[in-house]
Structure 1
Amino acid sequence: MSQTPAYKRILLKLSGEALMGDDSYGINRATIEAIVGQVKEVVDLGVQVGVVIGGGNIFRGVSQAASGMDRATADYMGMMATVMNALALKDAMENAGIIARVQSALTMQQVAEPYVRGKAIQYLEEGKVVIFAAGTGNPFFTTDTAAALRGMEMNVDIMLKATKVDGVYTDDPKKNPEAVRYQTLTFDEAIGRNLKVMDATAFALCRDQGLNIKVFSIFKQGALTRVVLGEDEGTLVHC
């Protein structure tokens, strides 16, 4: 197997729910360590890695409390949840021997650096993993959109959307055993077939700026490495 990466710099989009494992909410330590183990494999290959993390494992765990809440207030609470996840991810990375930095779109100087594009690029070039927290720093935008923005700002080669399913399928593979995984799709094909790859705003940004997306399962052992090596893993959405 070739050990030459197909990509020099990637943006990994992780949902907050990915950190829960089999728990109903919160952070499952074994799960986060397994994810970090996959990240370490690609860092050791010399790939530069940026990460955007969601907050659904924390905020959705108390989402009933947000019922009737002002949308902007609820979104800011969600952004703060992503900072908590980013700190947990950084801690797990450092335990695994990865040098990581957290940059937050919300100012929280005691726990995270403010987001500064030039500094983030410098860290990536130095081989550090940069974890981008607090989404875009604005309400009404998802962490998918934050991932699209950070991916473009960091000039990454590809955005990798980590999910529980190993790609995009013709139908829900859990409900339909006849569902077939797409190896590749164009942006227009995904839109035309109403395949919800990611948030519509983020998807349009990636399409318009020519940033390809690879959808894969972060829970499939070695999948991230296979994606980075350019092997047939997941689904590539391209222009």
Structure 2
Amino acid sequence: MQSPVYKRIVLKVSGESLSGNNGYGIDAAVIASIAEQVKEVVELKVEVAIVVGGGNIWRGIAGTAKGIDRATADYMGMLATVMNSLALQDALEQMEVPTRVQTSIAMQQIAEPYIRRRAIRHLEKGRVVIFAAGTGNPFFSTDTTAALRAAEIEAEVILMAKNKVDGVYSADPFKDETAEKFDTLTYLDVLNRNLGVMDSTSTSLCMDNNIPLVVFAITKQGNIKRVVLGEKIGTIVKGSVD
């Protein structure tokens, strides 16, 4: 049996991926598929933390474009991530995977407040921890949340699970047939070429804390486990290219 190459990971799941082909809302089949893949990793004794986006319900930038105050729109987006986190928690616990949701905005009736030491203790006990409500501050993305939480809990890698692409490309592969897929990139490559893996704040935070990223497709069943076992799928972003 193969051994995992990581002991503690942060899985970043985009909100859009939860809507499946619907483009909006939560697709129960997609949630169940993701939960099943997470369970496979937990069974390898890997400690799993998850950050979920909210774009399938609400995007702060889109709200701003409609005339809503940016801070208000971002807070609305944070609440959308809580809804997604609760849905994922329910799917995991139906599969008998113990899970805790921690929010950056206090809402004691439905989730724990984010406390770093408590989160680490949950992970050590084999529980999946889902970080909801972003950083608790407007003007920051859930990518930034993933980078920040990964640094705080000393995760070894951030797995960027994508819905439509299987890695990082030189251009949008759906619009440019000549787009080249990268196997390995540096943080500076991502920043200098504006490749859109993460926003610049998140990428810089990963670079400063030397946290590698693996960008891959979550739509193929078993891909999370493959990454954790060290298979070369998707694109890895790190400090230097060997």
> Match of 1:93?
92
> Match of 2:41?
42
Counterpart secondary structure, 1:33:
helix
> Match of 2:205?
205
When normalised by structure 2's length, the TM-score is 0.94
Contact 1:55–1:85 (Cα < 8 Å) also in 2: yes
Q: Name the count of aligned residue pairs.
A: 237
- Write out the 4+ residue segments of structure 1 that deviate beyond 6 Å after TM superposition: none
Counterpart secondary structure, 1:79:
helix
Contact 1:66–1:74 (Cα < 8 Å) also in 2: no
* 1:183 positional shift: 1.3
Structure 2 residue runs without a partner (length 5+) = none
> Match of 2:155?
156
Following superposition of structure 1 onto structure 2, how do residues 152-231 of structure 1 map, counting pairs within 5 Å?
152-164=151-163, 165-231=165-231
Following superposition of structure 1 onto structure 2, how do residues 95-134 of structure 1 map, counting pairs within 5 Å?
95-134=94-133
Cα distance change on mapping 1:79 and 1:4 into 2, 3 Å: same
- Match for 1:154: what amino acid? I
- Match for 1:217: what amino acid? A
Distance 1:127 1:162 in 2: 21
Distance 1:190 1:68 in 2: 31
Counterpart secondary structure, 1:149:
helix
* 1:31 positional shift: 0.6
Distance 1:64 1:7 in 2: 38
Structure 1 residue runs without a partner (length 5+) = none
Distance 1:24 1:189 in 2: 31
* 1:64 positional shift: 6.0
Distance 1:179 1:69 in 2: 36
Q: Deviations over 1:101-124 (max 9, x none)?
A: 000000000000000000000000
Cα distance change on mapping 1:24 and 1:193 into 2, 3 Å: closer
Distance 1:64 1:191 in 2: 26
Contact 1:3–1:45 (Cα < 8 Å) also in 2: no
1:59 aligns with 2:77: no
> Match of 2:30?
31
> Match of 2:4?
5
Contact 1:167–1:182 (Cα < 8 Å) also in 2: yes
- Match for 1:69: what amino acid? I
When normalised by structure 1's length, the TM-score is 0.95
Cα distance change on mapping 1:28 and 1:228 into 2, 3 Å: same
* 1:237 positional shift: 0.2
Distance 2:162 2:226 in 1: 15
Distance 1:205 1:60 in 2: 22
> Match of 1:70?
69
Contact 2:9–2:48 (Cα < 8 Å) also in 1: yes
Percent sequence identity over matched residues? Answer: 57
Counterpart secondary structure, 2:17:
helix
Distance 2:15 2:192 in 1: 28
Distance 2:216 2:7 in 1: 18
Counterpart secondary structure, 1:59:
coil
